[in-house]
Structure 1
Amino acid sequence: MTMIRGAAAITGAASGIGRALAVELAQRGCDLALADRDEAGLKTLSAEIGRQRKVTVHRVDVGEPADIAHFATDAIAAHPSLNIVVNNAGVALMGTFEEIDQAQMEWLFGINFWGVVHGTRAFLPHLKTRPEAHIVNLSSVFGIIAPPGQAAYAAAKFAVRGFSESVRHELAVAASPVRLSVVHPGGVATAIARNSRGGVGVTDNARRAQSIERFETAARTTPKDAALRIIRGIEKNEPRILIGNDARFMDLLQRFRPATYWAPLQRKLERMAKGTGK
């Protein structure tokens, strides 16, 4: 079992799963390099946990490769024992493929996919010098199934999954000390849906509001529980970390009906919606 120790770099650390991971890792003895665009959120988090461990905060837009490169350089300089990297930052975009334009799709990919790739590339040379190290890349349950209205998001999260699995296999073949886990959260009670952008062609604001409400109603896993599950996955070197009963159910459904999972899943979602009166 891998011991949680050393220092961890976390993107998207000011809120949600990233914030919860920072708190839990600090309690287990990790120093922290915390990155986010939300500087106020980072300062609040640093004040909360800085009394326990050494914490540095870094204003980073993971959609900017130069920001990630500077983050890696500064984080490693401040924390030479850094051996855990969590590529967590992400955004959401609501709308069908025809309702989003190319610029919006590229914006999302720049953060949700390229942010993971650039983060992995920037930290990997240092991680390979450590006796034991771990990369954690956040995909989604939408990196396992692809519902309508999530063409951009699902495409990016499937890409994170494929990239992460290939790099993990390359590290194993090379007998590298670096391990890699890809995380597939189901519904987690964060602000990602409420903070999502709408496609330029989305004119039905009531539909968008209903989609957000349904997501938040179904998001039963707390960020803390998600963080604890990820930490357990790191400790056990799990290649795939599923978070929540919904993620486990959808993973199984996709395995049994890889090309036809949407019809039974849609019926289940409709029954759930009726049950909650939504």
Structure 2
Amino acid sequence: MKSFQDKVAAITGAGSGMGRELAIELAKQGCHLALSDVNEQGLAQTMSLLKAYPVRVTSTRLDVSQREAVYAWADAVVREHGKVNLIFNNAGVALGSTLEGVAYEDFEWIMNINFWGVVYGSKAFLPHLRASGDGHIINTSSIFGLFAVPANGCYNASKFAVRGFSECLRQEMELTAAPVSVTSVHPGGIKTNIAQAARMSSNLDGLLAKDGQSARDNFDKLFITSANRAARIILKAVRGNKRRVLVGPDAKFMDLLVRLLPSAYQRLVTAGARMQARRSL
């Protein structure tokens, strides 16, 4: 897909952050948009920012963890736009907790959104993407889908799962000569509200930070790439039909580190976590 002109893109998590910036950048390039988010206020703000562009834009409140709702939205997008060429499975949440202490309800919550939301979005839109003759699935994994860090095991699990699902789906599309491609996105620290909106378990208090808010603030300090910059990198990768896109210098550095030290990197991460804890407590 060398051009987004007159294409139709569906985006989850479009009410803020990368989802909003993807919508704006696509609108600039003449792409029609179907936007969704569980946050209706944020979604309305995104819609208002798109009024300046001569493209058709629709919006739907959507909880991506609800399979039937995702399928209904996919069908609605085609009814409203006549077709759909791209699905950006971008919605995601964060959870800070030890794996030993995490409540199953919290673990299920993050997996239902971060992983199953991607599965539902991919499978619901796939028949429509095939019918378009020029389709692309873009699934947001994470830098934490490439390496593991303490206190983020549930997030790691969800993002590693997205990576595996996306890479396998890409191979299957190629084996069947489908007119659909797949790109796995691995952002580093992107300046969004995901850290401040994260659920933080009290089992982390005194382990890596003084309390949950301190842990959120520590993560915020690692966010170095703007959401707009991330969106432009992702869209460039889609035009280039890349299998994987690393977003930000931190993502590129950690990818290289894990390639060079596939097991030993864990010692470095643990040492870094200890240093961060001493500064925070």
TM-score, L = length of structure 1: 0.94
Number of the residue aligned with 1:38: 39
Contact 1:32 1:54 in 2 (8 A): yes
Number of the residue aligned with 1:244: 248
| Aligned AA (2:245) | I
Partner Cα distance (1:115, 1:108) in 2: 10
- Which sections of structure 2, spanning at least 5 residues, go unmatched? none
Number of the residue aligned with 1:85: 87
User: Does the residue aligned with 2:108 lie in a helix, a strand or coil?
Assistant: helix
Number of the residue aligned with 2:168: 166
User: Does the residue aligned with 1:63 lie in a helix, a strand or coil?
Assistant: coil
Rate the CA distance shift 1:236–1:270 in 2: closer, same or farther, 3 A.
farther
User: Does the residue aligned with 1:82 lie in a helix, a strand or coil?
Assistant: coil
Partner Cα distance (1:224, 1:249) in 2: 20
Contact 1:99 1:200 in 2 (8 A): no
Number of the residue aligned with 1:115: 117
Partner Cα distance (1:177, 1:166) in 2: 16
Partner Cα distance (2:201, 2:65) in 1: 19
Rate the CA distance shift 1:177–1:228 in 2: closer, same or farther, 3 A.
same
Alignment equivalent of 1:261, drawn from 256, 262, 265: 265
Rate the CA distance shift 1:25–1:198 in 2: closer, same or farther, 3 A.
same
1:55-70 to 2 correspondence within 5 Å? Answer: 55-70=57-72
Alignment equivalent of 2:156, drawn from 154, 157, 160: 154
Partner Cα distance (2:276, 2:103) in 1: 31
Number of the residue aligned with 2:4: 4
- Which sections of structure 1, spanning at least 5 residues, go unmatched? none
Q: CA-atom RMSD, angstroms?
A: 2.1
User: Does the residue aligned with 2:193 lie in a helix, a strand or coil?
Assistant: coil
Partner Cα distance (1:169, 1:139) in 2: 17
Partner Cα distance (2:146, 2:26) in 1: 27
1:218-237 to 2 correspondence within 5 Å? Answer: 218-237=222-241
* Percent identity of paired positions between Structure 1 and Structure 2: 40
1:201 positional shift: 4.0
- Kindly provide the CA deviation profile for residues 85-144 of structure 1, in whole angstroms up to 9, marking residues without a partner as x: 000000000111122111110111000000000000000001001221111000000000
- Kindly provide the CA deviation profile for residues 14-62 of structure 1, in whole angstroms up to 9, marking residues without a partner as x: 0010001001000010110000011121122112213411110101000
Partner Cα distance (1:251, 1:26) in 2: 31
Alignment equivalent of 1:210, drawn from 200, 211, 214: 214
| Aligned AA (2:221) | T
Partner Cα distance (1:187, 1:270) in 2: 20
Partner Cα distance (1:67, 1:200) in 2: 33
1:2 positional shift: 2.2
Partner Cα distance (2:31, 2:49) in 1: 14
